[in-house]
């Protein structure tokens, strides 16, 4: 059988079609496979599983490597094909359609027992399973994935998006076999019926269930927002950061460098989990086509610091700092005013001025339910979402981080669209804190904890409280922390000028 070189590769085209369940380009799949030990490709007993199969790209690229690696052991091409496809490659399709697509990609036939299949199975699915699975509803949500019953309790004519691999307590029973390698690109999230476009992460559940199968190697490409935790991810983050079997992470802060047509807030990463070889992790940053690699422990900080060049800067800041802005940043919804509140057009006697995303209105003192410690003082209001609403840098690879930032006077408050920083007796102190927030150093330190569009008080854990009786500039901060010229260049190239 003659091997075909695809040009253009149909799976590269498909990788540009979806932003919901992201298809994997072949070059990305191969970068992940390159992390695996070379001897796997000449092991006729090695078994591979893609538990979230869409196009079959991982299995197809694995097959190419095995076809070459097993050539000496199984010289006959058809016998080699039969052995690889029937005894080494397995998958669970995420939908009926992707099952057909994956079989067409892998077997050259949408049915594995069809006359055009390159290997003769005695059933249509081959080793690419798809079993329509139902959600398990409890109080309106699925107990396995958190999906909203109002959206996904559907008829048979629609996909349930109840992915088989994570809708079970016993994923090992799906194939009833041991796998050497589990690899894939799982669905990232699913609507959970919350406010707006609220969604619960799914990829963490695929990773956790894959670990239950205890493979020798596990590799998945997932959103990088787990670095800082957040909605449904705090426990997952803690497990990942404290798992010294994660030996390689390749991180793309700008997801478009990995998936050119997809916007994924906070970027994406892929990792290698090596069951039998614990140790520190080799972390590679890829930004604007340049890579930077450092071996370091994942749990050095409560959040994962994605930029290798930032580690020494953080240490320099820590040496001269004892308190951080996270201690003076408000919790969400600082005054108990919903983001939809607009107030009245005319002020009240002894009332309050309200800042909302639509402008200025007026409310009474009774309209706030908390944040009373801020009301009579000066404070700084910041938008609770970053300037990069898609979580991606600009075309120059730079971030602004902070969006709307204003000084509020006494008797001025804001809605849930904002956070509050500080409670100051004088406007001069507030102004100095405000100018400090505009510096590239502060926005850089803030960026290190940000892996989505949302800001919260814990994201300020690396930003020190300074003496705000004086004004701080980047030049003064560089000198104060003894930031090197190379480190200054790194900060300046990453953070936009305000």
pLDDT attached to residue 6: 41
pLDDT attached to residue 227: 87
pLDDT attached to residue 475: 98
pLDDT attached to residue 9: 53
pLDDT attached to residue 254: 87
Q: Which of 263, 280, 493, 292 is nearest to 397 (CA)?
A: 493
Instruction: Write the Ramachandran bin of 495: left for phi over 0, alpha for psi from -120 to 50, otherwise beta.
Output: beta
pLDDT in tens, 275-323: 999 999 999 999 888 899 999 999 999 888 999 999 999 999 999 999 9
Prediction pTM value: 0.83
pLDDT attached to residue 193: 60
pLDDT attached to residue 3: 43
pLDDT in tens, 340-366: 999 999 999 999 999 999 999 999 999
Q: Which of 242, 227, 228, 252 is nearest to 297 (CA)?
A: 242
- Asked whether 296 and 376 are in contact (CB, 8 A), the reply is no
b/e code 166-193 from CB counts within 10 Å (16+ = b): bbbeebeebbeeebbbbbbbbbbbbbbb
DSSP one-letter string for 241-287: HT-TTEEEEEEESSGGGTSTT---TT-EEEEEEETT----EEEEEEE
pLDDT in tens, 366-414: 999 999 999 999 999 999 999 987 677 887 889 999 999 999 999 999 9
* Cα-trace Rg, the chain: 26
Every domain of the chain and the residues it spans: 10-304, 314-494
Q: Kindly indicate whether the domain formed by 10-304 is annotated with CATH number 3.40.50.150.
A: yes
Q: What distance in Å separates the CA atoms of residue 103 and residue 98, rounded to the nearest whole number?
A: 8
Name all contacts of 299-304 with Cβ < 8 Å and 24+ positions apart: 299/241, 299/242, 302/461, 303/227, 303/228, 303/229, 303/237, 303/448, 303/449, 303/451, 303/461, 304/227, 304/228, 304/237, 304/241
What is residue 454's DSSP assignment? B
Q: Which of 4, 6, 24 is nearest to 14 (CA)?
A: 24
Low-confidence ranges of the chain (pLDDT < 50): 1-8, 13-20
pLDDT attached to residue 450: 86
- Which residues are 292's β-sheet partners? 285
| Range list of H helices, 370-459 | 372-375, 427-438, 440-447
- Which residues are 182's β-sheet partners? 49, 218
Q: What distance in Å separates the CA atoms of residue 460 and residue 24, rounded to the nearest whole number?
A: 34
């Amino acid at each position: 059988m003659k091997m075909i070189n695809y040009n253009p590769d149909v799976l590269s085209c498909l990788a540009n079609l979806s932003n919901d369940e992201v298809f994997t380009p072949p070059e990305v799949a191969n970068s992940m496979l390159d992390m695996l030990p070379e001897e796997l490709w000449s092991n006729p007993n090695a078994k591979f599983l893609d538990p979230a199969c869409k196009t079959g790209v991982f299995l197809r690229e694995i097959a190419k490597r095995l076809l070459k690696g097993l050539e000496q052991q199984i010289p006959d091409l058809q016998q080699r094909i039969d052995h690889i496809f029937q005894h080494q490659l397995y998958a669970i399709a995420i939908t009926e359609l992707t099952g057909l697509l994956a079989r067409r990609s892998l077997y050259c036939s949408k049915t594995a027992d069809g006359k055009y299949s390159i290997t003769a199975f005695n059933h249509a699915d081959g080793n690419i399973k798809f079993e329509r699975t139902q959600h398990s509803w409890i109080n309106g949500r699925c107990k396995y994935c958190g999906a909203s019953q109002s959206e996904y309790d559907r008829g048979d004519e629609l996909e349930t998006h109840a992915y088989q691999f994570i809708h079970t307590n016993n994923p090992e029973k799906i194939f009833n076999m041991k796998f050497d390698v589990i690899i894939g690109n799982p669905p990232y999230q699913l609507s959970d019926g919350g406010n707006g476009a609220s969604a619960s992460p799914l990829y963490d559940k695929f990773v956790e269930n894959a670990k239950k199968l205890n493979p020798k190697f596990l590799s998945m490409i997932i959103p990088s927002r787990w670095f800082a935790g957040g909605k449904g991810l705090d426990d997952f983050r803690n497990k990942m950061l404290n798992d010294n079997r994660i030996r390689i992470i390749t991180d793309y802060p700008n997801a478009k460098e990995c998936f050119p047509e997809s916007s994924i807030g906070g970027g994406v990463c892929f990792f290698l989990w090596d069951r039998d070889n614990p140790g520190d992790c080799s972390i590679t940053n890829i930004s604007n086509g340049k890579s930077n690699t450092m071996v370091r422990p994942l749990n050095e900080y409560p959040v994962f610091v994605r930029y290798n060049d930032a580690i020494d800067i953080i240490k320099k800041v820590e040496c001269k700092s004892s308190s951080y802005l996270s201690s003076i940043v408000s919790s969400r919804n600082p005054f108990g005013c919903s983001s939809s509140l607009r107030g009245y057009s005319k002020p009240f006697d002894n009332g309050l001025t309200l800042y909302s995303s639509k402008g200025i209105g007026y409310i009474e003192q009774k309209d706030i339910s908390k944040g009373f410690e801020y009301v009579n003082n000066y404070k700084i209001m910041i938008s609770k979402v970053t300037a990069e609403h898609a979580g991606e840098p600009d075309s120059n690879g730079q971030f602004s981080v902070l969006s709307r930032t204003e000084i509020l006077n006494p008797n001025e408050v804001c809605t849930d669209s904002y956070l509050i920083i500080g409670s100051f007796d004088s406007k001069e102190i507030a102004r100095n804190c405000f100018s400090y927030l505009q510096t590239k150093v502060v926005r850089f330190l803030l960026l290190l904890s940000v892996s989505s569009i949302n800001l919260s008080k814990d994201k300020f854990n690396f930003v020190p409280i300074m003496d705000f009786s004086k004004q701080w500039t980047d030049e003064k901060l560089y000198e104060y922390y003894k930031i090197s010229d190379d480190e200054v260049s790194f900060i300046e190239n990453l953070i936009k000028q305000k």
